[in-house]
């Protein structure tokens, strides 16, 4: 039987491809896999004014779809992909980002995850401001959007291996008509790891013409890939040809062109003198983190290690042929790749593959945090996590937790099926990854994430619950990303108060706080914890990548009044936003837009049973030293703090006594900061947005107010 | 006057000896820009911000005796 004969189209929906106006089609695509409904929905002006796009649209649609009792694996749960009005322009770096939203399997509330690749812009140009997928298919299906012909189908096609490096290539071939046509295809897929674990992620592809390879970027956090597979989705595929720089039909194309030209010149001349992202990608953060005690080592116990120098340099490994942007026009081009990497383990052992990465987070997660300072190990782990559809951050941080439990005798080889999960055992890490992806052995437990593992270890293996609470690095159920926040009170709150859980994309304040000492008071920290989360949220409403904002800066940045905000780039972004939409928004306007969506998401957490002060709690390992070895590794620092900050003489005291005093002080500091931030944000002392705040932000919809009133 | 330059992160690679702290004994009046460009072969383009005692300073600032000058690369943290 030919492949075409094996293709079974379950549903067909024809539509008129629609011209975008000022970045929007004002139309979204709804697909229900339970009853095979495919239809167009319109977005009202009122909705657009408040929710803008991207994460905003994702939150808006998910709110309508679920109740407070909906679970991640109920058919009512949705996966929504949306990018926003700026996404898809090609004149400026970092304009291809989408946000994916769903109810997370590990947190139980809404997760939003940002991702590059071509799917989002192609979807927009095909005439859809968002894709909303609900229900569950009976068998594995592909949802295919042919943006050239104006046809959406739900179909079954010959799939074979569902792991991304095989499937995305297969589907790119299947849906393209020629080698040249492959650039017009993007595939969203995951892998068997998402079937078998709660930490599944989504890969969004683009075709790399120079290297003749399918490349992938990840919507990594929160288990969205697990929801995807629970719905029996094999892939979303889109085709769109003839990408041009004006498909958004911007209000003022010249404004965008001029801003883009200026920025491209800046990147070309400045990046080589600054972070050299174009050669190093985000690996450039590794030595910075290690030098400043921020690199997670041995489950966040320490911030640096002498062997970290082995995993700092990657330029010699990368294949430098071609540009490495994850959307057209990105001159920062930080999506680095290692070509022809020979795998040493697992089902594809012996194959030479393309590894997308590593990013800094992966180096921290599956390298330093688990104590394996070996580049080939990191590459192997990166590849398999990607193809299996497993989030490298949740995997690495989860394994680091397991290793500390193993070394403390909480679990042993009988429980791990013989795996010696000591820090530094790279072979055991890889074997565990394969087990998670196969749903076998100890992998069945490890794949559930830290929050569930803590419960299992206490109930089944008699672990001390307080110790596990202290060292289990998760907040709201989401595993921590790869920075040591112990010495930065602002970053502790940046992690603990983030809506989605312990991800740093809301605020990265470590340097401002501890190295530059620019936010010394609680009020300073609270102000930073207002501006940065709100500005960073905005990127996810409009389709932008944050890296070109502040990983490369203009020549005179140090001569501006607030160089940490990179004012010229803020001006650039306003020019892009206003140039596309025709608005005349100021920085205060866009912060207001973000604040509205941010507070809506806070109330969404409340709806789903989180969203209060108790849910902003964080593990003590993220605040201060838990163990004697941690304290004594930085004894001088902590003893000085005892003297200078707490007014206690450390001499004569045991390390345990000193740990207790430091802990009491630091935990109190966190609570004071939380109080200050709540006040700054217009929330109650329980962290609930007040009715005045909701009204000011125009998100005082009846159902929002109804949820909040129950808790006031 | 004695001032200390502290190039942060990979900026230290631009200075002799890859050092995290460089102490300079200077006489007369100096701006930060002159200190960096006339004593070292370092382009100001590499530096995103300058901080002294927790406050941002501009290139024409004249440091005082004992000042520790943090030179910051672009750093967004992802």
What's the confidence (pLDDT) of residue B41? 86
Distance CA A494, CA A534 (A): 12
Structural domains for chain B = 2-72 (3.10.20.30)
Cβ-count burial of A253 within 10 angstroms (0-12 exposed, 13-18 middle, 19+ buried)? middle
pLDDT for A629-683, tens place per residue?
999 999 999 999 999 999 999 999 999 999 999 999 999 999 999 999 999 999 9
What's the confidence (pLDDT) of residue A5? 59
Q: For residues A464 and A390, state if they share a domain.
A: yes
CA A531, A534, A538, A544 dihedral sign is: positive
Q: Does B8 touch chain A (CB under 8 A)?
A: yes
What's the confidence (pLDDT) of residue A514? 85
- Tell me which of A427, A448, A479 is where a domain ends: A479
Structural domain includes residue A369: yes
The closest of A215, A217, A206, A210 to A184, measured between CA atoms, is: A206
What's the confidence (pLDDT) of residue A1? 40
Strand order in the sheet with A79-82: A37-42, A27-32, A130-134, A79-82, A98-103, A110-115
- Mean pLDDT value of segment B57-65: 96
Structure tokens at A7: 């293709």
Angle at A190 between CA A106 and CA A316, to 5 degrees: 105
Question: B72 to chain A, minimum CA–CA distance in Å?
Answer: 9
Q: For residues A194 and A291, state if they share a domain.
A: no
Q: What is the DSSP letter of A687?
A: S
Structure pTM?
A: 0.97
Inter-chain touch B45–A269, beta carbons under 8 Å: yes
Q: For residues A285 and A232, state if they share a domain.
A: no
Question: A297 to chain B, minimum CA–CA distance in Å?
Answer: 18
DSSP A522-581: HHHHHHHHHHHHHHHHHHHHHT--SHHHHSS--TTGGGSS-GGG-HHHHHHHHHHHHHHH
Q: Which of B20, B72, B78 has the CB atom closest to A516's CB atom?
A: B72
Structural domain includes residue A631: yes
Q: Are A343 and A349 in contact (CB under 8 A)?
A: yes
Inter-chain touch A505–B58, beta carbons under 8 Å: no
Structural domain includes residue A561: no
Question: B74 to chain A, minimum CA–CA distance in Å?
Answer: 5
CATH number of the domain to which A30 belongs: 3.60.9.10
Find the closest chain A residue to B19 by CA distance: A291
Q: For residues A206 and A310, state if they share a domain.
A: no
Question: A307-311, A448-452, B6-10: which has the minimum mean pLDDT?
Answer: B6-10
Name the average pLDDT for chain A. Answer: 96
Distance CA A435, CA B14 (A): 46
pLDDT for A384-412, tens place per residue?
999 999 999 999 999 999 999 999 999 99
Size of interface A-B (CB pairs under 8 A): 99
Structural domain includes residue A528: no
CA A377, A378, A382, A388 dihedral sign is: positive
Q: What is the DSSP letter of A389?
A: T
Structural domain includes residue A149: yes
Inter-chain touch A273–B45, beta carbons under 8 Å: yes
Q: For residues A374 and A290, state if they share a domain.
A: yes
Inter-chain touch A558–B47, beta carbons under 8 Å: yes
Q: Is A274 helix (H, G, I), strand (E, B) or coil?
A: coil
Q: For residues A341 and A216, state if they share a domain.
A: no
What's the confidence (pLDDT) of residue A202? 98
pLDDT of A471 over the 70 cut: yes
Q: What is the DSSP letter of A6?
A: H
Q: Are A156 and A380 in contact (CB under 8 A)?
A: no
Structural domain includes residue A591: yes
Cβ-count burial of A486 within 10 angstroms (0-12 exposed, 13-18 middle, 19+ buried)? buried
Q: For A585, phi and psi rounded to 5 degrees?
A: -75, 145
Q: Are A493 and A457 in contact (CB under 8 A)?
A: no
Q: For residues A211 and A323, state if they share a domain.
A: no
Q: For residues A10 and A126, state if they share a domain.
A: yes
Q: Are A33 and A141 in contact (CB under 8 A)?
A: yes
pLDDT for A364-387, tens place per residue?
999 999 999 999 999 999 999 999
Question: A483 to chain B, minimum CA–CA distance in Å?
Answer: 9
As for how many domains chain A has, the answer is 3
Q: Are A448 and A104 in contact (CB under 8 A)?
A: no
Structure tokens at A586: 């100021």
- Mean pLDDT value of segment A213-222: 97
* Domain housing A80: 3-239
Q: For residues A599 and A667, state if they share a domain.
A: yes
Q: Is A412 helix (H, G, I), strand (E, B) or coil?
A: coil
Alpha carbon A424 to its chain centroid, in Å, reads 26
Share of chain A above pLDDT 70, in %: 99
- Tell me which of A190, A217, A239 is where a domain ends: A239
CB interface of B with A, residues 32-61, below 8 Å: 43-51, 53-56, 58-60
For the CA atoms of A314, A319, A325, A327, what is the dihedral angle to 10 degrees? -130
- Tell me which of A463, A479, A495 is where a domain ends: A479
Structure tokens at A396: 């690495």
List residues bridging with A134 in a β-sheet. A32
Q: For residues A23 and A109, state if they share a domain.
A: yes
pLDDT of A232 over the 60 cut: yes
Structural domain includes residue A596: yes
CA B36, B38, B42, B48 dihedral sign is: positive
Q: Which of B44, B70, B74 has the CB atom closest to A550's CB atom?
A: B74
ipTM over 0.90: yes
Q: Does A510 touch chain B (CB under 8 A)?
A: yes
Structural domain includes residue A397: yes
Q: Does A552 touch chain B (CB under 8 A)?
A: yes
Longest dimension (CA), chain B: 41
If pLDDT is split at 50, 70 and 90, which confidence band does A6 have? confident
Secondary-structure breakdown of chain A: helix, strand, coil percentages, each rounded to the nearest 5: 45, 15, 40
List residues bridging with A113 in a β-sheet. A100
Q: Does B3 touch chain A (CB under 8 A)?
A: no
Q: For residues A464 and A334, state if they share a domain.
A: yes
Question: B42 to chain A, minimum CA–CA distance in Å?
Answer: 10
Cβ-count burial of A483 within 10 angstroms (0-12 exposed, 13-18 middle, 19+ buried)? buried
DSSP A19-56: --BTTB-SEEEEEETTTTEEEEEEPPHHHHHHH-STHH
Q: For residues A215 and A297, state if they share a domain.
A: no
Alpha carbon A161 to its chain centroid, in Å, reads 26
Distance CA A499, CA A410 (A): 31
- Matching residue, tokens 């112990």: A486
Inter-chain touch A566–B47, beta carbons under 8 Å: no
Structure tokens at A622: 């993220």
């Amino acid at each position: 039987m030919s492949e075409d004969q094996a293709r079974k189209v379950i549903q067909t929906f024809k539509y008129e491809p629609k011209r975008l106006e000022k970045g929007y089609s004002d139309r979204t695509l709804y697909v229900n896999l339970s009853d095979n409904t495919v239809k167009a929905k319109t977005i009202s002006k009122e909705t657009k004014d408040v929710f803008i796009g991207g994460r905003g649209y994702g939150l808006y649609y998910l709110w309508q779809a679920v109740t407070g009792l909906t679970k991640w694996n109920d058919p009512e749960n949705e996966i929504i992909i949306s990018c926003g009005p700026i996404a898809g322009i090609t004149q400026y770096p970092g304009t291809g980002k989408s946000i994916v939203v769903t109810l997370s399997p590990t947190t139980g509330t809404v997760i939003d995850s940002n991702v590059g690749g071509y799917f989002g812009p192609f979807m927009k140009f095909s005439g859809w401001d968002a894709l909303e997928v609900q229900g569950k298919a009976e068998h594995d299906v592909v949802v295919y959007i042919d943006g050239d012909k104006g046809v959406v189908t739900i179909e079954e096609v010959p799939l074979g291996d569902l792991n991304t490096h095989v499937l995305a290539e297969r589907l790119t071939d299947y849906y393209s008509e020629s080698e040249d046509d492959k650039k017009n295809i993007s595939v969203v897929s995951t892998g068997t790891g998402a079937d078998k674990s709660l930490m599944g992620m989504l890969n969004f592809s683009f075709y790399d013409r120079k290297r003749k390879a399918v490349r992938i970027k990840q919507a990594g956090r929160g288990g969205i890939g697990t929801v995807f597979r629970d719905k029996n989705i094999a892939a979303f595929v889109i085709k769109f040809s003839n990408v041009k720089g004006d498909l958004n039909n911007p209000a003022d194309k010249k404004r965008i062109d001029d801003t883009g030209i200026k920025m491209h010149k800046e990147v070309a001349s400045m990046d080589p003198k600054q972070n050299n992202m174009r050669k190093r990608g985000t690996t450039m953060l590794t030595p910075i983190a290690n030098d400043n005690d921020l690199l997670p080592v041995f489950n966040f116990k320490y911030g640096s290690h002498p062997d970290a120098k082995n995993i700092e340099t990657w330029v010699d490994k990368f294949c430098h042929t071609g540009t490495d942007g994850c959307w057209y026009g990105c001159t920062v081009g930080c999506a680095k790749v290692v070509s022809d990497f020979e795998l040493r383990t697992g089902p594809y052992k012996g194959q030479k593959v393309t590894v997308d990465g590593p990013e800094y987070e992966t180096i921290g997660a599956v390298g330093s945090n688990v104590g394996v300072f070996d580049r080939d190990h990191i590459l192997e782990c990166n590849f398999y996590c990607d193809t299996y559809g497993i989030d490298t951050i949740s995997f690495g941080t989860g394994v680091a937790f397991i290793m500390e439990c193993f070394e403390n005798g909480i679990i042993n080889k009988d429980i791990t099926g013989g795996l010696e999960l000591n820090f530094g055992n790279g072979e055991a890490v890889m074997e565990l990854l394969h087990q998670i992806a196969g749903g076998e052995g100890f992998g069945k437990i490890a794949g559930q994430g830290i929050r569930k593992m803590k419960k299992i270890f206490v109930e089944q293996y008699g672990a001390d619950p307080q110790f596990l609470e202290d060292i289990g690095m998760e907040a709201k159920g989401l595993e921590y990303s790869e920075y040591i926040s112990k010495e930065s009170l602002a970053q502790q709150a940046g992690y603990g108060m983030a809506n989605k859980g312990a991800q740093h994309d809301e605020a990265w304040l470590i340097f401002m706080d501890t190295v530059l000492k620019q936010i010394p008071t609680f009020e300073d920290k609270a102000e930073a914890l207002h501006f940065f989360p709100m500005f960073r949220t905005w990127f996810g409403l409009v389709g932008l990548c944050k890296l070109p904002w502040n990983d490369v800066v203009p020549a005179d940045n140090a001569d501006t009044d607030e160089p940490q905000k990179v004012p010229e780039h803020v001006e650039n972004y306003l020019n892009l936003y206003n140039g596309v939409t025709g608005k005349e928004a100021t920085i205060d306007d866009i912060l207001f837009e973000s604040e509205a969506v941010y507070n809506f998401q806070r109330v969404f957490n409340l709806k789903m049973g989180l969203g209060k002060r108790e849910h902003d709690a964080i593990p003590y390992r993220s605040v201060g030293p838990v163990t004697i070895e941690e304290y004594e590794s930085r004894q001088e620092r902590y003893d000085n703090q005892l003297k200078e900050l707490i007014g206690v003489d450390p001499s004569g005291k045991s390390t345990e006594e000193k740990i207790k005093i430091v802990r009491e002080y630091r935990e109190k500091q966190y609570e004071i900061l939380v109080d200050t931030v709540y006040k700054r944000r217009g929330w109650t002392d329980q962290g609930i947005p007040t009715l005045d705040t909701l009204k000011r932000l125009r998100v005082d919809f009846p159902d929002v107010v109804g949820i909040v009133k129950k808790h006031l | 006057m004695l001032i200390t330059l502290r190039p942060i992160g990979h900026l230290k690679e631009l200075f002799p000896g890859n050092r995290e702290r460089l102490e300079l004994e200077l006489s007369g009046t100096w701006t930060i820009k002159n200190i960096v460009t006339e004593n070292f072969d370092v382009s100001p383009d590499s530096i995103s911000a300058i901080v002294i005692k927790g406050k941002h300073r501009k290139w024409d600032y004249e440091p005082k005796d004992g000042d520790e000058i943090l030179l910051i690369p672009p750093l967004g943290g992802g």
